[in-house]
Amino acid sequence: MTRRNLYFAFATLVAAGLYWTPLKSLVTSSLQSEVYAYTGLIPVLSAFLIYLEKERIFSRVRYDFGIGSVLVLIALIIRGSNLKYGSALNPTDAFSLLTLSFVVLWIGVFVLCYGAMTLRAATFQLSLLVLMVPFPQAFLEKSILVLRGGATQVAGILFRLGGVPVFQNGFRLSLPITDLEVAEQCSGIRSGLSLFITGLLAGHLFLRTPLRKLCLALATFPITVIKNGLRIVTIYWLTIHPGMGSLVAWVHRYGGIPFSFLGLSLVALLVIILRKFEETSFGSRRIMAGRAEVRVKTLPPTLDLTC
């Protein structure tokens, strides 16, 4: 191990020691939370992606005390502000600020040891660490409301397309035989976040242009809403058929697994489609460049009038 790597490892241990309590709480919440189960995988995923591209990322390393010190200072300011004014925030928001402070501090240490060029080369990998930060409570609640509303709308559309009369009142669907209500637990926020992370990763690995990567990541939202709507319709169909009572309970508890596979399949299909568009686009550019090159070669030669 080089001296530079030893410095980085030592600084990481010091940072972890300073933030030991919030990091322990972060691990505990990832094991117990219904929403943030993915949190513990984020640093592992970031480190794995850095390892895959280590030759490109660490091709030009140097110590950078300018940008690195600024990031460390920002992290300490965030932590100091949280300690001073955190009592005015709800516990979730205060914990989010503390986690953000650690992420910024660690990235600052990374820049101190490896330089701004390395930070630029590993922008995506290091940006993933921001996903460790829990969402502010207000944003999380709004996201759940949007997902619940979207799933309810999609289910209503599917019922009407299937010829089933339905009346929607908020998150409640009044149907023949029974009514259904989309609860917070059925919003799909956890599977939606997992799909979003999968979309980010697939875009980074398989797509080239930033626009198509962004389209893939954003497409995970309607995919989440559609699969949740399908799950609601499936629960109703099982409910109205005699002998399917045991399956209804299973779908309520474990039904997210097959529908998550459906969401992953739709993401994979979208990756294939976007990749085909990219291949066509880059292929047409090469053809155009080839034609331009041919035109240059076919210019009439210059006459030599010397004796």
- pLDDT given for residue 295 in this prediction: 42
> Per-residue pLDDT for 300 more than 60?
no
Task: Judge whether 217 and 203 are in contact, CB under 8 Å.
Answer: yes
Edge-to-edge strand ranges of the sheet holding 179-181: 167-169, 172-174, 179-181
CA-based nearest residue to 26, from 75, 92, 89: 92
For residues 32 and 225, which has the higher predicted lDDT (pLDDT)? Answer: 225
Per the prediction, the chain carries an average pLDDT of 84
> Per-residue pLDDT for 297 more than 50?
no
Task: Judge whether 217 and 199 are in contact, CB under 8 Å.
Answer: yes
Q: Which helix (H) or strand (E) holds 260?
A: helix 256-297
Name the percent of the chain in helix, strand, coil, to the closest 5: 80, 5, 20
> Per-residue pLDDT for 286 more than 80?
no
Percent of the chain with pLDDT over 70: 86
Residues 227-250 have a mean pLDDT of: 74
The 10s digit of each residue's pLDDT in 104-123 is 999 999 999 999 999 999 99
- pLDDT given for residue 101 in this prediction: 94
Percent of the chain with pLDDT over 90: 45
Q: Which two tokens stand for residue 155?
A: 């289910």
- pLDDT given for residue 253 in this prediction: 64
Q: Cβ contacts of residue 100 below 8 Å, gap of 6+?
A: 78, 130, 133
Residues 205-219 have a mean pLDDT of: 92
